[in-house]
Amino acid sequence: MEYASILGISAPTSRVGLGTWAMGGSQWGGTDDDESVRTIHAALDLGITLIDTAPAYGFGHSEEVVGRALAERGGRELVVVATKVGLERRGDGVIRNSSRQQVIQELEVSLRRLRTDYVDLYQVHWPDFSTPYEETAQALLDLQRAGKVRAIGVSNYSIEAMERFRRVAPLASAQPPLNLFEREALEDIIPWCRTNGVATLTYGALCRGLLAGTMNENTRFEGDDLRKTDPKFLPPRYAQYLQAVQRLAQFARERYDKGVLPFAVRWVLDQPGVTAALWGARHPGELEPLRDVMGWRLDDEALTYTDSVVNESVPEPVGPEFMAPPERRPEESGERPGASV
């Protein structure tokens, strides 16, 4: 395993982190808690120290699973627990709410679920345009000073938002999406983070499973699986993305004797400024390719070929925008329209 450091966190951070969204049991076709716990234990056995979760993942269920796994395993001080704040439940969905009251209340609930008295990295899940960034930052700073939060991060924030945020509170990390098919963060967010000493925990390394190399034109998604509404998994793009994966899989096998999954994760890790890549899993066996991720790098020819495959196969790419949660209405927040932006 390769390791890095995040400002304010004493434990070394593995450059591959375990994403636990699917362990929440919703939006991914269901899950099994015992199997999820075994997956977390398997990740720790492989040297992963970073576990990323959020209250929005199964309305707190993912946090409960993480808390159970760590309680059964022990060694809490060796694990970098990263969770999030700022998505308020409304019925069967969530809306953005990063008000001071929401931040303070939400942390206490997360601590109980996680069975811990502190969070290593507390991240604002999505920008809340109805709350001034400064208000959110001050609330997190107060929690950090109280010893309940070791480091503060943000997710899906713009550069302007991060600039305003860190005038109030120290910003340790940012979490943008990044994978072979979703590269927008390489244009601005990640270079800015690199320049300003902000760690990047990139999410979606396998692009909702597309880059795992296990899907084909007959793959179907059932129940509440979010990929049923992801434009990448709908015609005509789905066939285009599958074609790109097939070409990349052949290249990875012939040039490096690797599968497309470790090739895709290695691509993320080799981008300048990337601290860690989050890898979602809910079965121990899904972590086996991790051993093929470490100890090598993509050369310039591989990077160039990868770019050409993506550009040729997917003429009209789409990003992860479909996942963005709704904002609060002005009357819900007490703010006048546009007051915080």
Residue 77 inside a domain? The answer is yes
Convert 303-314 to b/e letters by CB count within 10 Å (16 or more is b). Answer: eebbeebbeebb
Residue 279 inside a domain? The answer is yes
Is residue 341 pLDDT above 50, yes or no?
Answer: no
Report the CATH number that the domain containing residue 289 is assigned in CATH.
3.20.20.100
**What dihedral do alpha carbons 279, 284, 285, 286 form, nearest 10°?**
-10
Condensed to tens digits (0 to 9), the pLDDT of residues 270-283 reads: 999 999 999 988 89
Residue 145 inside a domain? The answer is yes
Query: Which pTM value belongs to this model?
Result: 0.91
Residue 312 inside a domain? The answer is no
| Active-site position among 3, 57, 122, 157 | 57
- Banded model confidence at residue 333, pLDDT cuts 50, 70, 90: low
Tally the domains of the chain.
1
Distance CA 272, CA 258 (A): 22
Give the pLDDT of residue 338: 33
Residue 155 inside a domain? The answer is yes
Residue 126 inside a domain? The answer is yes
Average pLDDT, the chain: 91
Condensed to tens digits (0 to 9), the pLDDT of residues 182-236 reads: 999 999 999 999 999 999 999 999 998 899 989 888 888 887 788 888 889 999 9
Condensed to tens digits (0 to 9), the pLDDT of residues 13-24 reads: 999 999 998 898
Range of the domain at 168: 3-208+266-296
Residue 306 inside a domain? The answer is no
The three-point CA angle 202-205-206 to 5° equals: 160
Catalytic site residue 305? no
Residue 313 inside a domain? The answer is no
Is residue 6 pLDDT above 70, yes or no?
Answer: yes
